[in-house]
Amino acid sequence: MKITVYNTLGKEAGTADLPDGIFALPWNADLVWQIATSQEANMRGTYAKTKDRAEVRGGGKKPWRQKGTGRARHGSIRSPLWKGGGSTHGPLTVKSYKKKINKKMARKALYTVLSAKARDNELVVLDLLKMDIPKTKKAAEIFSGLATHFKDITASKSRALVLLPHMDVNAKRAVRNLPYAAVDEARNLTAWQALQHKYLVLPKEAIASFT
């Protein structure tokens, strides 16, 4: 599969061959949904926490004597029966939402999303993406040039995801301040992450990171 390659000025700079095994797969909604929701669940933290009667402050003294008052017997004002008492069977931080993900399924789901991006003209390949200094102005100029071919690439927040072939501190610092772009290494890309952005922007050398 061939795709147009652009330079940092937004002009066409030839074509590149995309591996069919990665960028020419048919859409598989069931697989993508299963993997994407599992990856989202694995990012979920456990924050809900209630205190039981042993953790609530106070209640060390028996509110009244056991017998002779005519009232029901109680041992602590922090019993779950009392206002301000501990909770019974409430949420605890020990709960885990993690789901097991098969590596081959996760890889195929990612390839399926990449194939859909390539078909829908939402995959932007650059001939080179290298910056000597971390200037956000320079990154904005690159996107301004690409906007002539991809009209809405700068239209809204987190519109594009820039994928670097390796960690480039200058490029990362230059891109991360743009409201419509995020940046990460190509080797870290997941199906869920790819679905969060309409456009994937990457230099040619980053394509090898998916194999």
What tens digit of pLDDT does each residue of 87-121 get? 999 999 888 899 999 999 999 999 999 999 999 99
Predicted confidence (pLDDT) per residue in 116-169, tens digit: 999 999 999 999 888 888 899 999 999 999 999 998 898 888 789 999 999 889
Q: At CA 117, angle to CA 111 and CA 121, rounded to 5?
A: 150
The residue from 96, 121, 137 where one domain ends is 96
158/183 Cα distance (integer angstroms): 10
What is the spatial order of strands in the sheet that 12-17 belongs to?
Answer: 12-17, 2-6, 123-126, 199-203, 160-164, 181-185
Predicted confidence (pLDDT) per residue in 17-57, tens digit: 999 999 999 999 999 999 999 999 999 988 999 999 999 99
Residue 73 sits in which domain range? 45-96
**2 DSSP β-pair partners:** 17
The residue from 61, 96, 131 where one domain ends is 96
Residues 157 and 196 grouped into a single domain: yes
Residues 141 and 101 grouped into a single domain: yes
Number of folded domains in the chain?
2
- The whole-model pTM stands at 0.82
Residues 35 and 77 grouped into a single domain: no
Give the DSSP letter string of 44-96.
---------TTTSS---S-SS-SSSSSSPP-S-TTSTTSTT---SS---TT--
